[in-house]
Structure 1
Amino acid sequence: MAGITDYLVRNLQKSLQDVSAQTNNALYDLNGNKSSSLKDRINLEQSKINVLNTINGVPLGARQGNETDDTERFRRAVAIANAIRSEVKLALGEYVISGTIQVTDNKGYGCKIVGINDEGVKIKTRLTGTTPLFAFKGGSGTFSNVGLKNLSIVPDTGFEYGGTAIYIDGQCNAYYEKIHISKLNYGIWLHNNTAGSFSEINKFDFIDIKDCNNLIRMEQGAGDPSFHGNDFTNVYLNINDGQIGFNHVSGYYYNGRLDLFMWGMAQTLYILMLMPMQSTL
C-alpha cells in the first residue's frame, strides 16, 4: 500500500512541476521577452490583437442583452472603427437593422463598412418614410476614408418601400461600390440639409438599384446648393411604373458624370430635372 501511495505522490509532484514549467513558458513571447505575470502576458497579446484590428478591420461583434436585431451592434462596431479610422468587416449572412447607422457625423474621416462579398451579405431594413439606413454627414470639403462596399440592401417583410439606403448630407470624397438596393423608398439621397453643407466628389461605382420610388435623388435642403463632382459610373437602374430613376429636385450638379444604365416600363420617369445641370461631363 505504501508503494502505491509513494507512486501517486511522485506522479502528482511531476504533474505539478510540468504545470509550473508550462506556466513559466507562457510568460515569454516569441521574442523571448518575459512578462511578470500571466495577466500581463494576456494584456500584451490583447494589445497586439487591437493593433491588428486597426489594420484588418473591426469585426461586427455579437448581439447583447435583449437585442432583437442588429442595429446596436452595428452602431458599436462603427463607433470603434471611427475611433481608429478602420473598417467594419461583415461576414456572410443576413443582418436586420431598424434604425439609422450614422457612419460619419460632421467629420471628414470615419470608417468604411465592408461585406465579404456583394452577394452573400444582405441587410434587411425595418424602416419607414425616408429614414436613412446608412447616413453620411461628413465635414464638407475634406478628404475622407469612408464608404460602403459589398452589400445587398432590401426591406424586411412588411417594410417594403420604406427608408433610404444611403443618405448623404455634406459628405465629400466617400466611395460606394458593389452595392445592390431594392424596394426602398429612396435608394441614394444626396441632400444638403445642414446649414453650410455641400456634398461633393463622392464616387458611386457598380451600384445596382431597382424598384425604389426614387432610385437616386439629389436635393438642396437647408444647406449649400453645390453637388459638384459626384461621379456615377457603372450604375444600373431598374425603374418600375410611377418611379423616378434620377430625380434632380434642386441644387446644382456640375463637373460630375452620370454613367447610368436604365430600364423601365410604360409609366417610368427616367430622369426628372427641376434644376439645371451645369458643365456636366
Structure 2
Amino acid sequence: MICLVFMVEFGFVVGAEVVRGSLTRGKSVSTRGRSVTSVRSRSTVVCTALQPPSVKNVDSSKDVEKMSVLLPEKLSAEGIAILQEEYDVSINYDLTPEQLIEQIPMYEGIIVRSGTKVTREVIEAGKRLKVIGRAGVGVDNIDLNAATERGVLVVNAPTGNCVAAAEHAIALLCGVARLLSPADSTLKDGGWDRSKFVGVSLVGKTIAVVGLGRIGREVTKRCQGLGMNVIAHDPFTSQEAATSLGVRLVSLEAAAAEADFLT
C-alpha cells in the first residue's frame, strides 16, 4: 500500500503518472486499472493507491556517448585522470595553429593553458565546439567575441594557482630578507662570511601589498602569520573589505614610503 500526501487543490500523482481532476471526499477514481480512493481536507489531499504502479525496467547498460575533449597542452596526470572518467579525452601536444584548425571540428570541448591561441579561425572551424576551458586565470589567448557569437562557453580556473603564487611570493620575501641568493653565490665560490648575510627578521616589519585580489589576499594572510604589519593599495577594494582582512588601505605613494617590503 502506498500513501501519498500533496498540498494541492486539484491533481495528484500516482507513481509516475499525473491525474488531473476535481476530487471530492470519499470519491473513488479508476486510473488505468488501479483503484484510488481520495480524502479531501481543506487543501490537503491524501491518496491511497491499493495497487502500486508497475515500474518499467530501464536498461542502464547502454553506453552514453561521451563528450570529446582535446588537450593540446600538458595537464597534471591527476587532472587528466578525472577528465577521462567522464569524457573521451584526446591528448595531442604541440599542435601548430594550422593543425589545431584541422582537428578542432572533431571535438566538443578543448582545454588550454597559455600557450595555445584559440583564435576566431579555430572557433569558427569548431562546428561541434561547446566549451573552451582555460586551465588557469587569464583568457587573453581566447577570442571571447568569437566564442560569444558562436554560443561557445568559456570557463577558467581563477583560484587554481592562487595559493601556489602566494607561497612563491613568501619564498621570495624570505629570500630577500635573509639574503639567500648572495649567500648561496658566495658559498659556491668558496666563501664563508656568515656575518654579511644575516639579513633582517620579518616580525614587526611592514609590507605593502599592491592589489588585494585573490593572490594578494592569500599573501596578506601569510604575511600576517609571520607577524608582519600589512598595508595595501587597491583602488577597487573598499575600506570595509580591507578592514575585514586586518589591512589598512593607503595611497601608492604612502605604501612606497611606509613599507619595508613591497609586493
TM-score, normalisation: structure 1 = 0.22
Q: Which has the higher helix share?
A: 2
TM-score, normalisation: structure 2 = 0.23
| Greater C-alpha Rg | 2
Q: Which has the higher strand share?
A: 1
